[in-house]
Structure formats: structure tokens, C-alpha cells
Structure 1
Amino acid sequence: MKKTISTLGLLTALTGTAFAQEDLANSGCITVNIDNLRSSDGKVGVALFKVKEGFPDKTERALEGKSIAAGDHCIVMFENVPYGTYAVSVLHDENGNGKMDKTFIGIPKEGFGTSNNPKIRMGPPSFSESKFELGKGEVTLTISMNYLNQRSIQKPQ
């Protein structure tokens, strides 16, 4: 009985390893180049979405998110991402308060962007405008930041 349990445990472990290797074989890397940042103040938040629900600003609905220090140009990599359809949203949180600041009528005061760099219209870009396929190996995206308010943001005290 003890031998059967040990053998079963070993088979389960080996099967789990085989599934993990198969998952890696069906996954790739998404590299996001972010340019057109107007300053090196604050942080840049990057969110990877698999579904349209919550895109582009409900980052708690994102598959994965990363936050990095702002610079003239930023690069973020998402590794071991299963093949599929995705969209990326970016926020330049210049004042570091952890949210998109807006005017009293809802116009963003801070920089933003999404994959495919769709034309800015009334309201945020949609998932369908921003989606792309990760089908093999690696996808490299370049997202240009948009600033609708040209004034600098005051840092919180």
C-alpha cells in the first residue's frame, strides 16, 4: 500500500511537470516599449488584459500588472504568457498617488496609452481597438503616451 501511494505521488508529480512544460511550450513573451513620456516623474503602470471586462482602467481585472519608475523610455516584459488575445493599458502616474487624475469633467490629467495606439476619441479606447494576438514566441509592442492636459501635475505633499 505504501509503495502504491509513493508511486501515485511520483506519477502525479511527473504529470504536473509535463503539464507545466507543455504550458511553457504554449506561452510566449510580450515586450512593451513605452515612449513619448513627458517627464521622469512618478511611476508607469502597465496592465495586461485577457478579457474586455475592466479594460483599460480597472487594473484589478487585469491578468497581470507591473509598476516601474518613469523615464524617457520604459520597457516592460510579461513572460510565460499563454497564447491568446490580449490588450495592454499604460498609465503615467506622474504624481505617484496611484490613480489617474482627471479634470472636473473627466478629462485625464496624466498620460495614458493602449496597445495598437488607437485614435483618441470621446471615452477610453476599447478592448477591440487595442487587442493583439500572442501566437508564438514573442510579441513586441510600442505604446506612445497621450497627454490631453499639457500642464504638469503637482506632486502630493
Structure 2
Amino acid sequence: MKKTISSFLLVSAISSTAIAQENNPEKGCIKVNIGNVRSSEGFVGVALFLAKDGFPDKTERAIEGKRVQAGEHCMVMFENVPYGSYAVSVLHDENGNGKMDKTFIGIPKEGFGTSNNPKIRMGPPSFSESRFELDNKPVTLNITMNYLNERSIQKQQ
């Protein structure tokens, strides 16, 4: 009888733990440090994506977005994020119009960056190049802004 009660309590405890985990998924924190912001004009928008759909520039498809006043270095925190695979995109919206401005041939006029700082090629970085894992430890990302127009070339000289 004693063994039966112990077995019942053990099964009940395991079941309760499984139900609690389903109802309260594990969550973590993502800290995003943004460097090489060329001016304090406008704001820096940061978007957190769970999938490649919309990444990096369709921010309405991001699971969360934040924006901060532009400065040489900026920081954004995403808290209570369920564990999983993510990618982050960043835009320095210097004129504050809420979108990436481009030249007539499609080259970005404003700064941008993504998690993992992948090499800039023809076209935007992919979700897989920018993907990172959030698990039991907080994640800190250091993203360097990229500027592809003349103003950024003049600044670097």
C-alpha cells in the first residue's frame, strides 16, 4: 500500500511538472548593444524575428520591436522571450520616417545591421546568417551599424 501511494505521488508530481512547463514556458533575456551609430539624428529601431518570414526589413512580421533615440552607442533589452532561435535586425532611421530610405538603385541610405554581423554582400543578410539561440543563459548581442552611402565613406576617412 505504501509503495502504491509513493508511486501515485511520483506520477502526480511528474504530471504536474509537465503541465506547469507547458503553461509557463522557459523564457530568457536578449540584450542588444548597437555600435558605430554615425549620428544622434532620428532613432534606432530594433526588431526581433522568430522566423525568416519578413526578415530583416518587414518589421511588421517581427515578434517584437523597440526603438530608442539614436546615439553613438545604443542598447535595447527584450525580456521574457521564450527560448528558441531568433534573429535581430537594426535600422538607424535618421529622418524618423519609420522606414529604410534607399537610393534610386536600391542601396540603403541609412544605417542597418543584424545579429552576428554577417558580411554585407549583394542584398540583405539572411535569417540563417543572423540566427542565434536563446536558452538557459541571457544573450548579449553586439551589432555594428553599416552605412553604404557617401556620408559613411567620408566619416571613415
Contact 1:27/1:137 (<8 A) preserved: no
Q: State yes or no: 1:136 paired with 2:136.
A: yes
Question: Matched residue of 1:68: which SS?
Answer: strand
- Between the aligned partners of 2:89 and 2:150, the Cα distance in structure 1 is 20
TM-score normalised to the size of structure 2?
A: 0.81
- Provide, for residues 110-131 of structure 1, a one-character-per-residue CA deviation record: whole Å limited to 9, x for no partner: 0000000000000000000000
Percent sequence identity is 77
- Between the aligned partners of 2:58 and 2:150, the Cα distance in structure 1 is 24
Structure 2 unaligned residues grouped into runs of 5+ = 1-19, 153-157
- Provide, for residues 87-119 of structure 1, a one-character-per-residue CA deviation record: whole Å limited to 9, x for no partner: 000000001111100000000000000000000
Instruction: Give the number of equivalent residue pairs.
Output: 133
Matched letter for residue 147 of structure 1:
Y
Question: Matched residue of 1:31: which SS?
Answer: strand
Structure 1 unaligned residues grouped into runs of 5+ = 1-17, 153-157
**Gap change, CA 1:74 and 1:21, over 3 Å in 2:** farther
Match of 1:84 in 2: 84
Matched letter for residue 55 of structure 1:
F
Contact 1:29/1:139 (<8 A) preserved: yes
TM-score normalised to the size of structure 1?
A: 0.81
- Between the aligned partners of 1:20 and 1:77, the Cα distance in structure 2 is 25
Higher Rg: 2
- Provide, for residues 39-65 of structure 1, a one-character-per-residue CA deviation record: whole Å limited to 9, x for no partner: 010000000000000000000000100
Question: Matched residue of 2:24: which SS?
Answer: helix
| CA positional deviation for 1:20 | 8.8
